Structure formats: structure tokens, C-alpha cells
Amino acid sequence: MNARQFFINFLKDLRIGAVSRTFPRTAEMICNTVMEDDPNIIVEYGPGDGTITRRILKQLPASGRLIAIETNEAFIHELNKIKDQRLTIVEGSAVDIASILSRLSIQSVNCIFSGIPFSLLPMNVRLSIIKPSFEALANNGTMVVYQYTPIVRRLMRQQFGNSSLQVSFGNIPLYFIMKSRRKHARTA
């Protein structure tokens, strides 16, 4: 999918959180926030056309698994072009993470990457993603959210008790990269 097709898809589906593809340098920055921890089971919310997905797979161990959850059919078509046995593509919503993992017989995950546009979602939907995401993570598991605004950081801090923030100026528009680690059980 080229940049023009990506933008046209963005205009057709307002649930898409990015107006353009993630730049390679930013994709590397996002992945490097946790890939040094060698996570084995990863979930990606809103993988789009697979820029971050490909970067994750490049760094994922051979025994690893990546579950990409996407709602947009055009992006699912693009993701299906990635031929890697470690990748499972699910047409669905991040809200349904618990049932998706249950269907895949996965108890918990090491990392969740999210490119979904929290700033465009009502507060109740934001909460219905953050809390189940926390519950899906193994102890010391990490959630990384990247988007154009840091609006979700407060919710991440409330749920996880921690949240770091980086800004990637290497993308247009720039990305805020927020990272929270599950250290113990908390409730929002």
C-alpha cells in the first residue's frame, strides 16, 4: 500500500488513527522500547498496513508469536501479504482482547503495542481497552501506545501505576510513545 492509498483509506475510515504510514525510524523507536526485553507473545492493536508489524517480526524470536488485531478490511488485506508463521491476523477490536486470546488458547502476553486512536474514542471505550489489556499482560508485561496525542497516558498511569513518555520527532505528524509495565494487580 503506497502513501496515497494509505491516506485515501484514512479518509474512508475515521477509525484509523494515522494519516500516514509510520516512518521507519519511528517504527524502530517504538519497537525498541520493549524488544530488548525479548518478549515472546505480542499483541498489536491497529497494525494498519503492517509497518510496525514487520518491525516487530524482524526482532521477534523464532519461537515468538504476534497477534495483530485490525478492524479495517483494506489493512487486513495488506497484513495478509506478510508471510510469517509467527503472525496471526485477527479481524476484530481491541475491546475483545480477552475473548480473542481465549480463542487462541493464550493465557497472557508479554507485550501489547497499540496504534489505535484513543483520542477519537469515548472515555468508556478507552477504559474498555486499557483495563482488559492490563489483565491480558503477564507480570512485568508492557503496553506501548503510540499516537499523535498523549491523551491516554493518564489512564495508563491510573491502571498500571506507571507510564513513561517519549516523543518521536522523526515522524510527520510527531508521535507520542507511552509505555507502562504491569508490576502487580491494580484496578482503575
3-181 folds as Rossmann fold (3.40.50)
> For residue 55, what is its C-alpha cell?
518491525
Q: Where are the domains of the chain?
A: 3-181
Secondary structure class of 68 (helix, strand, coil): strand
Prior bond of 150 cis (ω within 30°)? no
**Segment among 18-22, 28-32, 104-108, 128-132 with least mean pLDDT:** 18-22
Alpha carbon distance 65, 75 (integer Å): 20
Percent of the chain scoring above 90 in pLDDT:
63
Q: What is the pTM of this model?
A: 0.85
**Cβ neighbours, 10 Å, residue 15:** 13
- For the beta carbon of residue 2, count every other beta carbon within 10 angstroms: 9
Whether residue 57 has pLDDT greater than 70:
yes
Query: Is the pLDDT confidence value at 14 over 70?
Result: no
pLDDT > 60? residue 19: no
With 70 as the cut, is the pLDDT of residue 181 above it?
A: yes
Task: Answer for the pair 132, 138: CB distance below 8 angstroms, yes or no.
Answer: no
- 3 burial via Cβ count (<10 Å: 0-12, 13-18, 19+): exposed
Compute the average pLDDT of residues 72-100: 96
Residue 157's φ and ψ, nearest 5 degrees, are -65, -40
Looking from the CA of 73 toward its CB, the CA atoms found within 13 Å total: 1
- The number of beta carbons lying within 10 Å of the beta carbon of residue 164 is 13
